[in-house]
Structure 1
Amino acid sequence: MSSSGPSKMTGTKDEVLGSAKATIGSTIGNHQMEAEGHTQNKGGTAQKEAAGTKQKAEGAGDGLFGHMQKATGQVLGNERMQGEGEMNKAKGTFKSDTA
C-alpha cells in the first residue's frame, strides 16, 4: 500500500470515527462536534471511493499491459513473456475485482 493517495483503510477509520463523533455530539447536545463528525464521516466515504476508483484504474492498466505482453510473447515465440503477460492480466483482473 502506498503512503500517497487515497486509502481504503484511512477512509474506513474516518467513517467510523466520524460516525461515533456525530453520535456523541448529538447525544450530549454539542452541535459543533456532531457537525465535525458528519464531515469526517463523509470525508472517509469519499476517500474509500477514491481509493477504489484508483485501484480499478491500476487493475485496468495491469490487464492491458499483460494483454500486450502476452501478445508480444506470442509473436516472438517467447513462452516466458507469454506467461508473464498472463500473470499481469490476472493481477489486473484481481485488482479490479477487489476494488
Structure 2
Amino acid sequence: MTKKYTYSIFILLCCLLLSSITSAQQINYVKGKVIDKKDRQPIIGASVTIVDKDRRVIKGVSTDIDGNYSLPVNDKTYRIMVSYIGYKSTAPLAIDKAVINFQIESADNQMD
C-alpha cells in the first residue's frame, strides 16, 4: 500500500510540475499595421523590432504586402519600434496592448 501511495504522489507532482512549466512559457503576440502618415498607404518591408531597455534588438520581422506584422513577445518590459529606409524611425513604445499600429513619416532627406 505504501508503494502505491508513493507512486500516486509522484505522478501527481510530475503533472503539477509539467503544468507549471508550460504556463511559464506562455507567449503573447503583438500585431498591427505600418502605414505612411501622409498618404495612408501600407509600408511593405518595414522593419518592426522588439528591443530591450538598452535598445538591443531581441526579435524582428518585416511587414508584408499589406503592411501587417506579427511578433511573439514573452517579456512585458520589452518595447517595439519601426524603421524603414527613407522614413523616420519611431521611438521605442511600450507593448501595452495586442494591436499596435504605426504611422511613419518620410524623412525628406534629399541629395544635392
TM-score tier (shorter)? 0.3 to 0.5
TM-score, normalised by the number of residues in structure 2 = 0.33
TM-score, with length taken from structure 1: 0.36
Structure label with greater radius of gyration: 2
Q: Which has the higher strand share?
A: 2
User: Would you tell me which structure has more helix in proportion to its own residues?
Assistant: 1
